Amino acid sequence: AQSVTQLGSHVSVSEGALVLLRCNYSSSVPPYLFWYVQYPNQGLQLLLKYTSAATLVKGINGFEAEFKKSETSFHLTKPSAHMSDAAEYFCAVGYTGGGNKLTFGTGTQLKVEL
């Protein structure tokens, strides 16, 4: 069975500050890991994904995440927050052979303040 834990349902940062959104996973097989962003009343947009290649993954809009097997983590970071980054962020885990079904975390609402 797989699970995802996102620590912090709400995170607030100042514009220009570091963004750190935490994601820990549990998987009995090598996982695929994803970060998606959702703006109000919209679907999910893929930010980045880890599929067993490089452990440091760069995504769109300046985001990146590092897969750390020893810590079972896949935290999302961005060096400098922008107002347009305010949204809901979801971490998800899947694996080959699992029908490509994803298990989602509960989401983290990112607020960016001036």
Partner 1 sequence: GAVVSQHPSRVICKSGTSVKIECRSLDFQATTMFWYRQFPKQSLMLMATSNEGSKATYEQGVEKDKFLINHASLTLSTLTVTSAHPEDSSFYICSARWQETQYFGPGTRLLVL
Which string of x and - marks every residue 51-90 that binds partner 1 (by CB under 8 A)? x--------------------------------------x
What is the residue-wise DSSP string for 30-70?
PPEEEEEEE-TTS-EEEEEEESSS-SEEE-GGG-EEEEETT
Residue 62 CB, shortest distance to partner 1, in Å, is: 20
Whether residue 66 contacts residue 75, with contact meaning beta carbons closer than 8 Å, is answered with: yes
Binding status of residue 50 toward partner 1 by CB under 8 A: no
Q: Please identify which residue in 41, 53, 70, 114 interacts with partner 1, judged by CB under 8 A.
A: 41
Whether residue 50 contacts residue 56, with contact meaning beta carbons closer than 8 Å, is answered with: no
**Listed ranges 16-24, 37-45, 64-72, 75-83: which one lies at the site for partner 1 (CB under 8 A):** 37-45
Q: Please identify which residue in 11, 19, 33, 36 interacts with partner 1, judged by CB under 8 A.
A: 36
Angle at the Cα of 9 (from 8 to 13), degrees rounded to 5?
70
Euclidean distance between CA atoms 67 and 52, whole angstroms:
9
Q: Which residues bind partner 1 (CB under 8 A)?
A: 32, 34, 36, 41-46, 49, 51, 90, 94, 96, 99-102, 104-107
